[in-house]
Structure 1
Amino acid sequence: MTAPRNTHIAMFSIAAHGHVNPSIEVIRELVARGYRVTYAIPPQFADKVAEAGAEPKVWHSTLPTDDDPDAWGTELIDHLEPFLTDALQALPQLVDLYEGDEPDLVLYDITAYPARVLAHRWNVPIVQFSPNLVAWEGYDEEVGKPMFEPLKQTPRGKAFYETFDHWIRSNGLDITVEDFMGRPDRCLVLIPKALQPNADRVDESRYAFVGACQGDRSAQGEWQRPAGAEKVLLVSLGSTFTKQPAFYRSCVEAFGGLPGWHVVLQVGKFIDVTELGEIPANIEVHPWVPQLAILREADAFITHAGAGGSQEGLATATPMVAVPQAVDQFGNADMLQALGVARHVPMEEATAGTLREAVLAVAGDPEVARRLQEIRADMAGEGGTARAADLVEAVAGVVARQP
């Protein structure tokens, strides 16, 4: 499809790898198809957005960043309040940024609350991008109410819901807090359907699974299996919850000198390699690595089971050991284990012996390999970046045809 003349698409997200990375290839594809795309993002990701061909609309956020993961706290309300607080202060900034440059279509990450308000204000259609699981029919009764009803009885919970409800209604929307957060008008689900719990009960008139939207990662660097390495293991806890020196020491103990194995250990920006003690010759340690390039060569993957890492493991048919750290990672770890492609090892059980046994078990199991090949084939049929862009274009085309 040729982009309708002068069609302006605006994307909204937060400054977090797990929320920007899933959308960026779709944005790149829309730009390539001739759309003008702006991307409202804090300054930390402005260059990444510009590299994809979109125009950064830079706003300033109050959310904790990847540099300070401990600021998120430990309770449910600790994870909810910052997004609302940020939305309240972000909305005026975004109104000013788009004054006189209002888009024809709004795209938004699940965390970008102001986008839904702005689309209503501008009277334009809106499409959500979800980088993790979505609600299914029965979700409210099975998960939502047991999780949130007790919260509503606490002082902080009551204040959160009252403030959120007032903000929604003061901006002209007639919708509950639960529906605002959890029921988008339409949504592209940027994960493989295999990672979605109760996928058979998801309303596909509202949610479209497009799978992983992975592009050319060559700019991140390549990686080659060292000569003589019979097996390769990648260990990565992602980009945020990486301050785990004891865990990394367990990995060094578990795999250091293990015959035939070469280990790539990504430790993030918070770890000084000297904290890990003597590093055996078969282990390389880095703050960051080109993950997908290594997974294409890897025989096993110890992962925190974030949505990005989980789908990259599936896309490369790499057996996994899931050691989740936070939020959706626990559910992803359970899903990967249920799929028969991973072992879920809770962090408190992640000793050197347990990790070594789990990696050797999944890497040597032909049934794990068979299931991974099946899932990879299914994922290839979901369409990825091209289908996601097609679905966005279908909405943009309707907009363009309106008088």
Structure 2
Amino acid sequence: MAKVYIAVQRVLGHVYPALGIGQQLQKRGHVVTILTHSSNEMLVRRAGLDFLPAQWGKFPEKFVYEQTMEIHAYAAGGSPDLLICDSSQAAPAYAAEMLGMPWISLQTTVPYPDFLLPGSRTVQERMRKVYEAELNHVRQRLGLAPLSDPLRTRGDLAGLSPRLHLVNAVSLLFPGVESLPAQTKFAGNCVPDTGGQREAVPLLEPARGKPVVLVCASSTGRHDSREIMNRYIWAAAWLAGEGAFELIVSEHQPYQGRQPLPANVHWISEYPNHDRLMPMADAVLTHGGCGTLQTVMKHGLPMLIVPLASDQELLASRCVELGFARAMGAEEISRQRILTELEALLLPGSPLRYRAKQTAELAELRSPGDVAADEIESFLTNTV
């Protein structure tokens, strides 16, 4: 039995995999504590795991020194056998280095190579040089040597482990480019077990006279992302109000609009809820977060993706290439465009629907928690 700390940033797309992996390890007799922002405490405790508040981790690339010292204090006092560190955060990995502890990095999206990332390569390289200088300044203050692995200057790989890098994604989403660190293992999409919730009163009973569209919104606090989501949510709500379909909106905040929602628009803010809502849906409209996409894939649903970030643009392109999704940019959002795209998804006999059902049969989507736990236990046996 091992004592394991899992440190992740506050966004739900990072917290859910930590909870899913933590529950699997706990079932196997390990003691698991989640270190994340206090806004997620109830979620962690509901999952049956121990919790420690990591308040400085609200912004993963900011306050790295303060984050490191906070996690260092927890780890030094709690003496865990292993740290599992969100790869988008430098601080947990730095704390492990200071304590001479082994750590596993956990990535909650697909580690696409540099040359596939959208935008100017020159600008990206310049930004990474700035980030590298900031990180090395922090490392100097912490008494650590300068970074020797250039991959650790990437925002999504700042906490990269030299021994085991666990990717919370199916390999199907990776385009097959030979650029991954040798220590990379794909586990699939680990999510928390919500068995108790599934046995509770149903979240809703949508009318079945019309197709049901589910909107899955991101929990990000970025204002620009929020603006994009608001635009497609309200476009879909207007279409539902006109009778095009029944609409379910999965949000992490209660509805706060001034006008009442149409009767056939259902706003759900209790979470986690994807596994409870997707069996009711015929198609999904989403931002393209890696965990959300994989849950949609598991349920065999076609989707319309409006990406909010660069990695989501790549994920959206991959899903379109695989044949079960359509994608559109934020600048293309309009009621008519969304209606046209959703009609293509909802059409009986649509190849998108057929391909989505095919994809749901993939073995990779079935037991990600066990795959992740097996890798972690092997690491514990051979390293700790």
Q: Name the structure 1 match of 2:45.
A: 50
> How far 1:245 sits from its partner (Å)?
4.1
Q: Name the structure 1 match of 2:62.
A: 85
Residue 340 of structure 2 aligns to a residue in which SS?
helix
Q: 1:393 to 1:319 in 2, by over 3 A?
A: same
Contact 1:302 1:320 in 2 (8 A): yes
Q: 1:372 to 1:89 in 2, by over 3 A?
A: same
TM-score (norm 2): 0.85
Match of 1:283 among 242, 265, 270: 265
The whole-number CA distance in structure 2 between the counterparts of 1:62 and 1:14 is 6
Residue 305 of structure 1 aligns to a residue in which SS?
coil
> How far 1:210 sits from its partner (Å)?
1.3
Aligned residues: 367
The whole-number CA distance in structure 2 between the counterparts of 1:266 and 1:145 is 28
Contact 1:210 1:382 in 2 (8 A): no
Contact 2:18 2:34 in 1 (8 A): no
Q: Name the structure 1 match of 2:32.
A: 37
Match of 1:238 among 213, 218, 222: 218
Q: 1:84 to 1:268 in 2, by over 3 A?
A: closer
Match of 1:193 among 156, 161, 171: 171
Contact 1:322 1:333 in 2 (8 A): yes
Could you tell me which runs of 5 or more consecutive residues in structure 2 were left unpaired when the two chains were aligned: none
Task: Please give the per-residue CA displacement for 1:271-297, whole angstroms capped at 9, x wherever unaligned.
Answer: 6332xx564332223445622211112
The whole-number CA distance in structure 2 between the counterparts of 1:280 and 1:46 is 33
Is residue 314 from structure 1 mapped to residue 304 from structure 2 by the alignment? Answer: no
Q: CA RMSD in A?
A: 2.8
Q: 1:214 to 1:176 in 2, by over 3 A?
A: same
Deviates more, 1:346-355 or 1:242-251: 242-251
> How far 1:103 sits from its partner (Å)?
2.1
Deviates more, 1:375-384 or 1:109-118: 375-384
Q: Name the structure 2 match of 1:79.
A: none
Contact 2:118 2:310 in 1 (8 A): no
> How far 1:130 sits from its partner (Å)?
0.9
Contact 1:161 1:177 in 2 (8 A): no
Q: 1:150 to 1:327 in 2, by over 3 A?
A: closer
> How far 1:392 sits from its partner (Å)?
0.3
Match of 2:92 among 115, 138, 163: 115
The whole-number CA distance in structure 2 between the counterparts of 1:89 and 1:331 is 33
Q: Name the structure 2 match of 1:216.
A: 193
Deviates more, 1:83-92 or 1:221-230: 221-230
The whole-number CA distance in structure 2 between the counterparts of 1:133 and 1:206 is 14
Match of 1:335 among 306, 315, 318: 318
The whole-number CA distance in structure 1 between the counterparts of 2:50 and 2:93 is 20
The whole-number CA distance in structure 2 between the counterparts of 1:147 and 1:347 is 20
Deviates more, 1:339-348 or 1:114-123: 114-123
Residue 253 of structure 2 aligns to a residue in which SS?
coil
Contact 2:4 2:80 in 1 (8 A): yes
Give the alignment of 1:3-14 within 5 angstroms.
3=1, 7-14=2-9
Q: Name the structure 2 match of 1:78.
A: none
Contact 1:130 1:188 in 2 (8 A): yes
Q: Name the structure 2 match of 1:255.
A: 240
Aligned partner of 2:381: which letter? G
Give the alignment of 1:1-400 within 5 angstroms.
3=1, 7-61=2-56, 63=58, 82-135=59-112, 139-140=113-114, 142-143=115-116, 147=120, 149-150=122-123, 153=126, 159-169=130-140, 171-176=143-148, 178-180=150-152, 181=154, 182=157, 183-185=160-162, 186-196=164-174, 198-201=175-178, 203=180, 205-220=182-197, 222-223=202-203, 225-240=205-220, 241-243=225-227, 244-258=229-243, 261-266=245-250, 269=253, 272-274=256-258, 277=259, 279-287=261-269, 290-364=273-347, 365-380=349-364, 383-399=367-383
Could you tell me which runs of 5 or more consecutive residues in structure 1 were left unpaired when the two chains were aligned: 64-81
Percent of matched pairs sharing the same residue: 19
